[in-house]
Chain A
Amino acid sequence: MSDHINIKLPEGSIEKQTTTLNLGPTHPATHGVFQNILELDGERIIKTESTVGYIHRAFEKIAERRPLYQITTLTDRLNYCSSPINNMGWHLTCEKLLGVKTPKRVDYLRVIIMELARISDHLICNSIVGVDTGAYTGFLYVMQYRELIYEIYEEVCGSRLTTNMGRIGGFERNFSDTAFIRLEKFLAEYPKVQQELEDLFARNRIFVERTKGTGAISAERALNYSFTGPNLRAAGVDYDVRVHSPYSSYEDFDFIIPVGTSGDNYDRFMVRNSEIWESLSIIRQAYQKVQNFKGAEADIFHADAPEYYLPEKGDVYTKMEALIWHFKIVMGETEIPSGEVYMSVEGGNGELGFYLISDGGRSPYRLHFRRPCFIYYQAYEEIVRGSMLSDAIITLSSMNLIAGEMDA
């Protein structure tokens, strides 16, 4: 049965001195669906060819037929490690286009949720870097505490991973007492765990030697590659959308932007680590501000935007206007003002931008997501060229590549 006629080896493949290795698309070490065809000389990478798009779902096209509020569910599925940031980034884009002004309390609640999402995003990334350097414990241990974050989401919006949280103008309902109790629980329990995670890795000799000096990119190259987020900051550029173009009242908070120097895997780890501490501090400040609202102000959880914000269900049954708005919103019969708007938020991976063109119809004429992952993944080839295969794996996870965001 040795019928080898059908096996065609590429020409010259027997004589050549290098090895071609197909890493992915579904390889456990890639943590996502993307393929790298590596050309190896021993264990050293000479060339990489990256293929993406395995989970491309044409979100930009789908969005052209959907009313604004239905697009939120698409944004969930971009960077699914921090969906609430995407949701709120989208809502902020809509609010910018529609000229909706959100009350301060809504902004602060959003900040709490967005920073929780950032923590969960960085937590995954950092603990996965740990896994790839051989320390599985950290990953399993911190998952329990990511669970606390997900329980807060669950209490706020009902779902955990693809949250579809909030509405244009605010939240679908006020935060319950349980949500705040869970938030307090998280704020009380988590810092200790974060410290433990940091202690486990930051000065661990194995970890340091695996990550220091590997996967490095200079600030100039990073900027030229349009890097944003922790990956750019690890290279030493202090660009953060939260500070440069504050949204959702980030200007009211006191926090620093951690930066690295060498842009290598270790710096990326440390920048994310420090950002978690900053996020915790922002959450505390925001929670404090939320608690300072008294009386009627403490019940505000959405802006007054009847054309886009679904009315209270009880009102729909009893009030004419509410019924009309409800119908118009659900049927997607609200016309959007025409205009072009670019809005960006600091997502888990960097500047998550929404470029929305409206021609006055009921759905966007064109919606483009600026997905940081997609943009910085192209630098992977340059970063790993000449490095060891095992370092390339760490680089892959420390850049925090999320296939959902890359492929959109």
Chain B
Amino acid sequence: MPLGNDVVKTKLLEQFGEVLTEWEEQYGMISFTAPRELNLKVLNFLYDSSELSFKFLTDLTGVHYPDRKGEELCVVYHLHNLVENARIRFKVYAPVETPDIYTASGLFSGANWMERETYDFYGINFVGHPNLKRVLNVDEMDYFPMRKEFPLEDQTRVDKDDEMFGR
């Protein structure tokens, strides 16, 4: 029997119950949110469960939602069960003041740099990460550039006089 989204949802709800929220299915991919202290438990369950066995971490990234008070930063995991060819998306939120989330690098070696990248751009502190330092930006940088408080320059601004580039 192919691994459908409803099976995944049932299994997860059986294991964790109502703490998993925000179930949605967009463009065929099921997505849910877990409390941040449970992220490793959920990942481990998804990995170890013989029926689910989401053993491939496709992607790990961060998102910043300044309007979600108390849970501004989000980490998104995309997992893949290569045998059944099922994909799921799973999110964890953390407040911007204490963005601590357990690292998945113990479970997935590939999460190492992905988490470093997420730290680099969003400042999410992956607790237990073996080498949590910036990867793409310079080490001296003292802010997290992908956060929404750093807007890109408004392309219609007029206060800038730039002879060379004719603005």
Identify B146's interface contact among A60, A65, A245, CB under 8 A: A60
B residues 72-128 touching A (CB-CB < 8 Å): 76, 78, 82, 85, 87, 89, 108-114, 117, 121
Interface string of B48-92 (1 = CB under 8 A from A): 000000011111010110000000000010100010010101000
Q: Please tell me if the beta carbons of B152 and A61 are within 8 angstroms of each other in the complex.
A: yes
For residue A56, CB closer than 8 A to chain B, the reply is yes
Q: How far is the CB of A324 from chain B (nearest CB, A)?
A: 21
For residue A224, CB closer than 8 A to chain B, the reply is yes
- Complex Cα–Cα for A339 and B26 (A): 7
For residue A170, CB closer than 8 A to chain B, the reply is no
Q: Please tell me if the beta carbons of B26 and A341 are within 8 angstroms of each other in the complex.
A: yes
Q: Please tell me if the beta carbons of A58 and B110 are within 8 angstroms of each other in the complex.
A: no
Chain B residues with CB under 8 Å of A58's CB are 145
The residue of chain B having its C-beta at the shortest distance from the C-beta of A378 within the complex is B113
- Complex Cα–Cα for A96 and B26 (A): 11
Given contacts A366-B63, A370-B59, contact A56 B78 (CB under 8 A): no
Identify B110's interface contact among A237, A378, A407, CB under 8 A: A378
- Complex Cα–Cα for A368 and B76 (A): 11
A residues 35-76 touching B (CB-CB < 8 Å): 52-53, 56, 58, 60-62, 64-65
> Which one of A300-308, A350-358, A385-393 is at the B interface?
A350-358
Identify A244's interface contact among B55, B57, B85, B113, CB under 8 A: B85
Interface string of B136-152 (1 = CB under 8 A from A): 11100000011000111
Chain A residues with CB under 8 Å of B121's CB are 60
Chain B residues with CB under 8 Å of A226's CB are 56-58, 108, 110-111, 114
Q: Please tell me if the beta carbons of A375 and B114 are within 8 angstroms of each other in the complex.
A: yes
Identify B135's interface contact among A52, A340, A370, CB under 8 A: A52
Identify B58's interface contact among A225, A370, A378, CB under 8 A: A370
- Complex Cα–Cα for A239 and B85 (A): 10
Q: Please tell me if the beta carbons of B59 and A341 are within 8 angstroms of each other in the complex.
A: no
Given contacts A58-B145, A353-B59, contact A342 B29 (CB under 8 A): yes
A residues 369-383 touching B (CB-CB < 8 Å): 370, 374-379, 382
For residue A185, CB closer than 8 A to chain B, the reply is no
The residue of chain A having its C-beta at the shortest distance from the C-beta of B27 within the complex is A341
Chain B residues with CB under 8 Å of A221's CB are 109
Given contacts A58-B145, A341-B27, A342-B87, contact A355 B109 (CB under 8 A): no
For residue A223, CB closer than 8 A to chain B, the reply is yes
- Complex Cα–Cα for A35 and B63 (A): 29
For residue B31, CB closer than 8 A to chain A, the reply is yes
The residue of chain B having its C-beta at the shortest distance from the C-beta of A351 within the complex is B58
Chain A residues with CB under 8 Å of B155's CB are 65
Q: Please tell me if the beta carbons of B58 and A353 are within 8 angstroms of each other in the complex.
A: yes
Q: Please tell me if the beta carbons of B152 and A65 are within 8 angstroms of each other in the complex.
A: yes
Chain B residues with CB under 8 Å of A365's CB are 63
Q: How far is the CB of A380 from chain B (nearest CB, A)?
A: 11
Given contacts A96-B27, A353-B78, A374-B113, contact A53 B59 (CB under 8 A): no
A residues 321-369 touching B (CB-CB < 8 Å): 339-342, 344, 351, 353, 355, 357, 365-366, 368
- Complex Cα–Cα for A237 and B121 (A): 32
Q: How far is the CB of B79 from chain A (nearest CB, A)?
A: 10
- Complex Cα–Cα for A97 and B146 (A): 23
The residue of chain B having its C-beta at the shortest distance from the C-beta of A62 within the complex is B152
Identify A245's interface contact among B61, B85, B145, CB under 8 A: B85
The CB with the most chain A CB atoms within 10 A, among B31, B113, B114, B146, is that of B113
Chain B residues with CB under 8 Å of A223's CB are 55-56, 82
Lowest 7 A-B CB distances belong to which pairs?
A226-B110, A53-B136, A378-B113, A56-B136, A368-B61, A370-B59, A225-B110
Enumerate 6 A-B pairs (CB-CB under 8 Å) in ascending A order: A61-B152, A65-B151, A221-B109, A244-B82, A355-B59, A368-B61
**Contacts A53-B137, A64-B152, A225-B108 given; 6 further ones with Cβ under 8 A?**
A223-B82, A227-B110, A340-B31, A341-B27, A379-B110, A408-B136
